[in-house]
Chain A
Amino acid sequence: MRYNWLKLLKEGLNNNSGWEKTWKNPELKKEYDVIIIGGGGHGLATAFYLAKEFNIKKIAVLEKNWIGGGNVGRNTTIIRSNYLLNENEAFYEFSLKLWESLEKQINYNAMVSQRGVLNVYHSDSQRDLFIRRGNSMIINGADAELYDVNKIKSLYPFLDFDNARFPIKGGLFQKRGGTVRHDAVAWGYAHAADQLGVDIIQNCEVNNFKFKSGTCIGVETNKGFIKANKVGCAVAGSTSLLMSKANMNLPIESHVLQAFVSESLKPIIPGVITFGAGHFYISQSDKGGLVFGGDIDGYNSYAQRGGIETLEDVCEGGLALMPIISKTRLLRMWGGVMDMSMDGSPIIDKTHINGLYINAGWCYGGFKATPASGWCFAHLLAKGYSHALSKNYRLDRFKNGYMIDEKGQGAQPNLH
């Protein structure tokens, strides 16, 4: 079933009784060309691009719960490509370009809204750093503009420009950045992959891999053994647990990252704003809730909930930037388990085991990377070698000294 205005009109007159399921619940087959473990954004996007761009026929996505119940439904929905390092910037710009054409590709309204991302700066040295980052963005084909205070005042007059400690001096603006309805990304990719014949199997937990003379030949699940030529793992915060079944220790720690939503307010924040003197980012959803977040909690966690001390820290950052929200009441908060890598950048690579591939280490960047991650992982799975844009996201870079450390923090995941 394709969604279009004619179908909408017909169903509108037909009491909406003829809609088919967005994706089917197919029977599990005994054998696939490619199995993707993890039915989140990245896994579903990988399956979609494998079928659409790389012409792979028999694909299954195995999800232990329901699709989109993990981090793709637990983030602050921001898309942007404003990184400094070439290895990251080119990849994320590719992702942003894919976001721009996503809805046509997947025939699904994901509410992609390029409402602009503004990073404010508070000192001369921070301005210099932002100019450098802006130049890096432009070199890599992205857009970036430097805004002065007056320009920001016209956009967001309510910011605390004269804050005694952190006065706002200007900002780096990316017009093409914005937000996307996060759940619709999972549902849309599932819909599009399903249309191309991908089997999306929910409540199917992978318990183990099966190896034969150094090659991965399939997976043991709670629904029995499934044979596969290639197995790709895209399970975010659970990566270390899954790969420990293959006796792999990874350069990853799992940490919880919280997101917060306020009660619904009248439209006040037209775009995305980030604070330059602490870690705080905010936008307003179409329903009116202020959606905001900050740092990870900072200690290893597999609990999908966070601590109150981080909430306090995030809110302090928010109030330093925009005191106007001080009386806003918090409606909901939740936590997602991030796969924090040792240099803050992701891993899309094969493993030392034939037929076993890994997509992990997304840290704070997982949601915005969804389309490019899916595309590049599909490329790797289909062709057996890395896409040009993800060739630096190697698993062995930590051993060989080719870290991609955007913030220069070293091997300390809770500082990335």
Chain B
Amino acid sequence: MIIEHPLLGPRDISEFIYLGDASLLNRPKWDVEDAEHSFYEYLYLRKNVAGVHKELWFHQQGDRSWLVISRNTLTHEITKVDLVGNSSKNMDILND
């Protein structure tokens, strides 16, 4: 699999480390009523979709940037690669 890095161009997957579902960018608030339940869902439950999946990859053997990659889990086709940014940009990526 080749990942089209927004800054570095096509890079081999072996340079990257996979973290998981990009919803991990959306960390729940700790100081609200149901924080315990939100963190349980955040930490343990996954949609685990078959189809286009937004996920976090770390370019460990490269520029050490975090990427949000839209990849089809049935075909491994990558349709979009975004650099992780500040929280408002991240929400745009997740809601895109």
Q: Do A and B come from one complex?
A: yes
- Identify the A interface with B (CB < 8 A): 240-241, 244, 249-254, 298-303, 307, 309, 342, 398-399, 411-414
A71 to chain B, nearest CB (A): 16
3 closest Cβ pairs, A-B complex? A240-B48, A249-B45, A398-B44
Q: Are B14 and A309 in contact, CB atoms less than 8 angstroms apart? A: yes
A78 to chain B, nearest CB (A): 26
The answer for the CA separation of A266 and B75 in the assembled complex, in Å, is 38
Identify the interface centre among B12, B14, B19, B55: most chain A CB within 10 Å of its CB.
B14
- Main SS of the interface on chain A? mixed
Q: Does B8 contact A (CB under 8 A)?
A: no
The answer for the CA separation of A414 and B19 in the assembled complex, in Å, is 8
Q: Are A250 and B75 in contact, CB atoms less than 8 angstroms apart? A: no
The answer for the CA separation of A300 and B22 in the assembled complex, in Å, is 12
Q: Are B74 and A302 in contact, CB atoms less than 8 angstroms apart? A: yes
Kindly identify which residue among B13, B46, B76 contacts A253, using a CB–CB cutoff of 8 Å. Answer: B46
Identify the interface centre among B20, B21, B46, B53: most chain A CB within 10 Å of its CB.
B46
Q: Are A252 and B74 in contact, CB atoms less than 8 angstroms apart? A: no
**Contacts A299-B18, A398-B40 given; 5 further ones with Cβ under 8 A?**
A241-B50, A253-B21, A302-B50, A398-B43, A398-B44
Q: Are A250 and B74 in contact, CB atoms less than 8 angstroms apart? A: no
Q: Does B47 contact A (CB under 8 A)?
A: yes
The answer for the CA separation of A309 and B18 in the assembled complex, in Å, is 14
Interface flags, B21-62, vs A, CB<8A=1, else 0: 100000000000000000011011111101001010000000
> Cβ of A240: which chain B residues have Cβ within 8 Å of it?
46-48
Beyond A309-B14, A399-B40, whether A301 also contacts B46 by CB under 8 A is no
Nearest residue, chain B, Cβ from A342: B44
Nearest residue, chain B, Cβ from A312: B14
Q: Are A254 and B13 in contact, CB atoms less than 8 angstroms apart? A: no
The answer for the CA separation of A59 and B73 in the assembled complex, in Å, is 34
Q: Are B40 and A254 in contact, CB atoms less than 8 angstroms apart? A: no
> Cβ of B41: which chain A residues have Cβ within 8 Å of it?
249
Q: Does B7 contact A (CB under 8 A)?
A: no
The answer for the CA separation of A414 and B1 in the assembled complex, in Å, is 17
> Cβ of A300: which chain B residues have Cβ within 8 Å of it?
20-21, 48, 53, 55, 73
The answer for the CA separation of A241 and B75 in the assembled complex, in Å, is 17
The answer for the CA separation of A413 and B48 in the assembled complex, in Å, is 12
Beyond A298-B18, A300-B53, A309-B13, whether A251 also contacts B45 by CB under 8 A is yes
A377 to chain B, nearest CB (A): 21
Kindly identify which residue among B14, B18, B71 contacts A414, using a CB–CB cutoff of 8 Å. Answer: B18
Q: Are B55 and A299 in contact, CB atoms less than 8 angstroms apart? A: yes
Q: Are A303 and B75 in contact, CB atoms less than 8 angstroms apart? A: yes
> Cβ of A298: which chain B residues have Cβ within 8 Å of it?
18
> Cβ of B19: which chain A residues have Cβ within 8 Å of it?
412
> Cβ of B75: which chain A residues have Cβ within 8 Å of it?
303
Q: Are B46 and A249 in contact, CB atoms less than 8 angstroms apart? A: yes
Nearest residue, chain B, Cβ from A251: B44
The answer for the CA separation of A412 and B56 in the assembled complex, in Å, is 13
Nearest residue, chain B, Cβ from A398: B44
Nearest residue, chain A, Cβ from B1: A307
Nearest residue, chain A, Cβ from B48: A240
A144 to chain B, nearest CB (A): 32
A54 to chain B, nearest CB (A): 31
A304 to chain B, nearest CB (A): 10
Identify the interface centre among B41, B48, B71: most chain A CB within 10 Å of its CB.
B48
> Cβ of A411: which chain B residues have Cβ within 8 Å of it?
43-44
A-B contact pairs, 13 of them (CB 8 A): A240-B46, A249-B45, A249-B47, A250-B45, A251-B44, A252-B46, A254-B48, A299-B71, A300-B21, A303-B73, A307-B1, A307-B76, A399-B44
The answer for the CA separation of A299 and B14 in the assembled complex, in Å, is 12
The answer for the CA separation of A282 and B73 in the assembled complex, in Å, is 28
Q: Are A254 and B44 in contact, CB atoms less than 8 angstroms apart? A: no
Identify the interface centre among B21, B40, B55, B73: most chain A CB within 10 Å of its CB.
B73
Q: Are B46 and A250 in contact, CB atoms less than 8 angstroms apart? A: yes
A326 to chain B, nearest CB (A): 21
Q: Are B44 and A253 in contact, CB atoms less than 8 angstroms apart? A: no
> Cβ of A252: which chain B residues have Cβ within 8 Å of it?
46, 48
Q: Are B74 and A303 in contact, CB atoms less than 8 angstroms apart? A: yes
A93 to chain B, nearest CB (A): 28
